[in-house]
Amino acid sequence: MNAIQQQDSDTSLDGLIDLEHYPIHRLTEARGRELMRQCREQLAQDGCVVLEGFVPQEALARLEQETERLSPLAHYNQTVTNPYNSDGDDSLPASHPRNRFDDRTNGFVAGDRIDSDTLIRQVYSHPDFQHFIASVVGIDDIHQYADPLADLVVNVLRDGCQHPWHYDTNEFIVTMMTRQSDAGGRFEYAAGIRSPEGENFEGVEKVLDGDRSHLTAIDLKPGDLQIFFGRYSLHRVTPVRGERERHTVIFAYAKEPGFIGRPERAQRIFGRMAPIHERLLKEGMQRSDNLAD
């Protein structure tokens, strides 16, 4: 039984999502098929698809209030990191991407702090939304994370916060902005700069040196939904400026059931581990590819 079948829900998306412009509940009909065609085409071409105004204004105000209420629960992590969230390598030159570190300050509200009756969790677990995401990324079944901390997350960036160049742990990521900062907070990425076959350190080094010839920059707006292949595309969020926090909801799905993030990553991002992470730390775990995390 897949995750869509497991997550039967009577919760309606009507009013939470602009179903008139984005008929994700009717993908077998002509307008739904056209929406899917456009999304898949853009994702194949750019590694990213942005659905502007996915959330109507009335619902957006409620979502903003929700993430504002949750934002004080964010754990802030201030550190320096390379694109691989790893230690440096003394055997490599200082210019190598593994030895290129930048400041990272991020706040994350963990999934176990987000109740089942919140709007964002209703969207996250809704079968129609899950089926839409699965169809866009081209897989039959989609599964919610089994990770109790990283399944549904609110990213909170206040003045001075940034997320420097990095990759995501999972192949694709789904985000919804609910609040934009006064300034900064631009999303930039180099689509498909690496693949399961190789890291392309040379190309990454060029980006870190300031080469923007293959970069795409997006000024996301509240209510926009983004589907992004972040496992293979180097990306960052530029420093946030001003008193207004930047809030983004992260919906984490996987191709296979039972996905759990690395224990050390949970400790770093959320400041703690769940019991499942502690068990995996003792048993050890293997990723399905050989890429750096």
pLDDT tens for each residue of 57-109:
989 999 999 999 999 999 999 999 999 988 999 999 999 999 999 999 999 99
Rounded to an integer, what distance in angstroms lies between the CA atom of residue 237 and that of residue 180? 12
Strands across the sheet containing 102-109 = 48-51, 225-228, 173-179, 246-251, 152-157, 102-109, 75-81
- Give me the pLDDT at residue 265, please: 84
Q: Note whether residue 289 is domain-resident.
A: no
| Percentage helix, strand, coil for the chain under 3-state DSSP, each rounded to 5 | 30, 25, 45
The mean predicted confidence, pLDDT, of the chain is: 92
Residue 68 structural domain? 3-283
Q: Note whether residue 197 is domain-resident.
A: yes
pLDDT digits (tens, 9 = 90+) for 151-166: 999 999 999 999 999 9
pLDDT at 274 over 70: yes
- Give me the pLDDT at residue 2, please: 43
Rounded to an integer, what distance in angstroms lies between the CA atom of residue 262 and that of residue 287? 9
Q: Note whether residue 293 is domain-resident.
A: no
CATH of the domain at 133: 2.60.120.620
Two tokens, residue 182: 């006064």
- Give me the pLDDT at residue 288, please: 53
- Give me the pLDDT at residue 6, please: 37
Q: Note whether residue 162 is domain-resident.
A: yes
- Give me the pLDDT at residue 285, please: 58
Pairing of strands 173-179, 225-228: antiparallel
Q: Note whether residue 26 is domain-resident.
A: yes
Count of the separate structural domains present in the chain: 1
pLDDT at 289 over 60: no
Q: Note whether residue 288 is domain-resident.
A: no
Amino acid 190 reads A
The total of other beta-carbon atoms located within 10 Å of residue 139's CB is: 16
Rounded to an integer, what distance in angstroms lies between the CA atom of residue 239 and that of residue 47? 23
Rounded to an integer, what distance in angstroms lies between the CA atom of residue 15 and that of residue 250? 20
Q: Note whether residue 291 is domain-resident.
A: no
| pTM metric for this prediction | 0.89
> Which residues on neighbouring strands pair with residue 163, listed in sequence order?
237
Q: How confident is the model at residue 27 (pLDDT cuts 50, 70, 90)?
A: very high
Compute φ and ψ for 272, nearest 5 degrees. -165, 170
